[in-house]
A and B are shown apart, each in its own frame.
Chain A
Amino acid sequence: MHRRQFLHLTGLSSAGLLLSGCGTNFLSDLAGNATEPFNQKVEELLLKPQTLVPEFPISQIEPEKLLVNTFRSTPQIDPAQYRLIIDGEVAQPMQLSLEDIYKLPFRSMVIRHVCVEGWAAIVQWGGVPLRELIQLAQPKNSAKYVYFQSVDRYYESWDMASCLHPQTLMAYQKNGEPLPIDNGAPLRLAAPIKLGYKQSKWVTRITLTSQLLKYKGYWEDQGYEWFAGL
């Protein structure tokens, strides 16, 4: 009872802070803005764009540890109607159905999924490497960033190097089974090299851009770090 009341209180207070985040956290923003450009440089240097992050044996999967964080509610998606749009700085914009996507090269990986909140879970993800999709659409040289639009209006943006990493997948399988709707079915981002909030669920549109836009991502626009590399 006490614990519940306490949680309720902390929930309320953090919601309040979230709403007034920009104003009350002026100093935090200042500290972040002063050091983030340097930290991001270090993060970019640390990222090995073509080196595989070591994977885990299937026996080490931790199904109960993967928590579901959804910023609004779980959307309803009809798999037959579903289309993935790839557009922006590409020579060949396209729309793919799930059948088209399932025919593309498949990759399975067992990796550690790390949440910004501090928890982590070893998960198996299966799907098409994002770089296969990007190559299909024939990216222009000007393409430097990739935006992801989701059905629930969640949005994200990534640097191109991380998108082309061989373990960055558009996943439709989790722990050996079809991806559950709560985890982002029919198609979500999954990668061992970015924090969980970068890994959009229910993705319907992938847009290549030449620069970062004013809106960088749902959480980033509220103060989270943009690069969020692991």
Chain B
Amino acid sequence: MTSNSLERQPARMPKRPKQALLAKIFHWVNIVSVSIMLTSGLQIYNANPVFGGRAGPHVFPLFTLGGWLAGGRDWHFAAMTLFALNLLWYGVYIGLTRRWKNRFVGGNDVKALQVGQNQKRNAYAWHRIVYTAIVPILLLAVFTGIGMYKPAQFYWIVDAFGGWDALRIVHFMTVPTVIGFAIAHSLLALKVGGTRLLESMFW
């Protein structure tokens, strides 16, 4: 019985969605580089917390990378190029292949939500809204990061945010935003396509 049902399963299972190899590569490199940026960033944060300064609450060491400030900076500056270039080539790729038009949120998703009849279609619309919205957040992390890395050469970035402290807060706020995104993105992907969709994006 058991073996019988096991044998039959593949035939019954809908085909795993196919993902473009380049999209998978981007996804993987992004996960790894963002994780390094995030944990090493929290290590740097601990040298002088954005909120409260030296007396302010510190991030628990389990979530930090590098051991001390210089180690955190080593990791942060090692991964930043990987993180930014990955976003760059992916931007070129979705521009050239017009993936931007049909693989990200569009008017049809907004329309679906407005009509609001099909639950599955609504979940899919939210899924696309969420993973589209993270792109400008990642770009904001790079932009504010350049301003903090070279504030004398890119003084206009610091000025655009109204000063150093505001720039630092915006750069830091990309951390909780990305964590929140990772949770929402995973849950929505599961809801929309189940483990098959998740697996298709990773392997």
Contact = CB atoms under 8 A, between A and B. Distances in A.
A229 to B, nearest CB: 7
A160 B45 CA distance: 31
Interface in A38-91: 38-39, 43, 46-48, 53-54
Contact of A3 (B47, B55, B75, B81): B55
A118 B67 contact: no
Interface residues on B, range: 35 or more
Contacts of B151: 112, 114, 120, 230
Contacts of A43: 150
B17 interface: no
A29 B70 CA distance: 9
Given A118-B50, A118-B168, A119-B48, A28 B66 contact: yes
Contacts of A95: none
Interface string A9-43: 01001100110010011001101101110110001
B155 A53 contact: yes
Contacts of A225: 70, 73, 77
Interface residues of A, number: 43
A28 B81 contact: no
A182 to B, nearest CB: 17
Interface in B1-29: none
A42 B53 CA distance: 30
29 contacts: A3-B55, A10-B46, A14-B68, A18-B68, A21-B70, A25-B67, A28-B71, A28-B72, A31-B79, A32-B71, A32-B77, A35-B77, A35-B78, A36-B74, A36-B77, A39-B81, A43-B150, A53-B152, A53-B153, A114-B151, A118-B45, A119-B48, A119-B53, A193-B152, A222-B70, A223-B70, A223-B74, A225-B73, A229-B150
